[in-house]
Amino acid sequence: MAKLLIVYHSRTGGSRQMAEAAAQAARDEAEAVLIAADQAGPEDLLQADGYIFCAPENLAAISGVMKDFFDRCYYPALGQIEGRPYAQMVCAGSDGENAVRQIARIATGWRLKKAQPAIIICTHAQTPEQILAEKEIPDAELEQCHDLGMAMAAGLSMGVF
C-alpha cells in the first residue's frame, strides 16, 4: 500500500484541522501518516511515497517550526526522495503566497514533483487577538483539504505520479 506522509505545524489549530481533513480522506486509498513537524524527521520522508506539507503563514513566511523540520531533514533526504510527488496547504491570515513559494523552493531543491496546486485557506485574522485566537476552519474550506488528501492518496495508489 502506498504511504502518504502529511507533515504539519499548527499553533492555533487551523493548519492542524487542514492536515487532519487531508489525512482522513487519504486513509481510504493509502496509508496516511499524519505527524507534527517537530516530531517528523528524515526517516519519515525516506519511508513515504509522497507528501503533503501543511503550515501556517507567520509574518509572510512558513512558521519557524515548519522551517526547522525542513532544516533538519533537507540534507539527510537530499538525493534520496527525488521524483516523489508533493502538495502543500497553507493557513494564512491574509495572503499565504510567500509561504507557498518557500515550500515550493525547498521541494524544488529536493527534486520533488508538484502533484496538486497549493491550497491557501485565509482566516482573515488581522489583529493580534484574531491572529493568536484558536481557529475554526469552515467545513466548505476543509472540503478542499479533504479533496487534496484523497487525490494524493488515489494518485499514489494508482501509480500516476
Reported as a single tens digit per residue, the pLDDT across 125-156 is: 999 999 999 999 999 999 999 999 999 999 99
The confidence score (pLDDT) of residue 151 equals 98
Grid look-up 519557524 returns 64
Per-residue pLDDT, 12: 96
Task: Using alpha carbons, select from 94, 102, 95, 101 the residue that is nearest to residue 127.
Answer: 94
pLDDT digits (tens, 9 = 90+) for 24-45: 999 999 999 999 999 999 999 9
Under a CB-based contact definition with an 8 Å cutoff, are residues 96 and 55 in contact? no
Judge contact between 56 and 15, C-beta under 8 A: yes
Could you read off the pLDDT of 5-22 as tens digits, one per residue?
A: 999 999 999 999 999 999
pLDDT digits (tens, 9 = 90+) for 48-66: 999 999 999 999 999 999 9
pLDDT at 17: 98
pLDDT at 46: 98
Is this model's pTM higher than 0.95 or not?
yes
**The pLDDT of residue 75:** 98
The domain spans of the chain are 3-158
**Domain 3-158 is classified in which CATH homologous superfamily?**
Flavodoxin domain (3.40.50.360)
Tell me which residue has cell 533526504. 77
Identify the pLDDT of residue 72: 98
pLDDT at 97: 97
Contact 4, 32 (CB under 8 A): yes
